[in-house]
Structure 1
Amino acid sequence: MTDTVAAKARLEEMLAELTARLAHIETDLDEPADADSGERAVQQEDDATLEGQAELVAREIASVTRALERIANGAYGECTKCGAEIAAGRLAARPEAALCIDCAG
């Protein structure tokens, strides 16, 4: 069985970092559009990129949150698909991992 105390601490740290990153992206997206049409076009392209980043960060937040829920439920380290134990090395590399390497592959 994995060290859930250390995993929980690492996941909480990841969640805080991801939440801060998402807040920063949202702040950038909330900036008013430039009056210059050329600059506005560049800002729209940048906003599209930022929206994509926000979506990815939101998915990571959801993944980390689900991992924290698995810790709370006593199911952390078990593959959510087949029920096998997730290898310690995989959890060390990706503490939010929900699938064993066989099911992930």
Structure 2
Amino acid sequence: MDDTTARERLESMQAELDRSIRVLTGDPVAVRDRSAADAGSDLTDADRVQAMLDVAVAQRRAVSAALERIDDGSYGRCVDCGKPVPDGRLEARPEAARCVHCQAKQERRR
């Protein structure tokens, strides 16, 4: 994928993530008279919102890092081994920082 196309896709992703993060950081539970049972439901809703927010923030970091790699000329190269990241992987995940092999190693370490 060429850098111009990658930048356009990544900036679009970043804008969408910014919108999602703004929505998720709003008050997820309206203040109102609630029963004790409803309070338990609110807690699970808040946990769900926090989990979605965590994913969105991590995704935004990955997109920002990919934009930085475009700027410094290293986009499309694995950050671990330096080999090219396959175009198919970049088409599917333009924010991908690693080749498939290095990404698998990274995930096994977690």
| TM-score > 0.5, shorter chain as reference | yes
Quote the offset at 1:35 in angstroms.
Answer: 2.4
Quote the offset at 1:102 in angstroms.
Answer: 1.5
Match of 1:81, SS state, is: coil
Quote the offset at 1:38 in angstroms.
Answer: 2.4
The answer for the alignment partner of 2:58 in structure 1 is: 59
1:13-65 superposed Cα distances (whole Å, 9 cap, x missing partner): 00001111111111143x44432132222111100110011001100000000
The answer for the alignment partner of 1:6 in structure 2 is: 5
Give, as a single letter, the amino acid of the residue that structure 2 aligns with 1:34: R
RMSD: 1.2
Quote the offset at 1:84 in angstroms.
Answer: 0.4
Q: Distance in 2 between matches of 1:43 and 1:34?
A: 11
Unaligned runs of 5+ in 2: 105-110
The answer for the alignment partner of 2:21 in structure 1 is: 22
Q: Distance in 1 between matches of 2:103 and 2:78?
A: 9
Unaligned runs of 5+ in 1: none
Q: Distance in 2 between matches of 1:34 and 1:58?
A: 29
Give, as a single letter, the amino acid of the residue that structure 2 aligns with 1:39: D
Q: Sequence identity, in percent?
A: 33
> Runs of 4+ in structure 1 displaced over 6 angstroms?
none
Give, as a single letter, the amino acid of the residue that structure 2 aligns with 1:35: D
Give, as a single letter, the amino acid of the residue that structure 1 aligns with 2:33: A
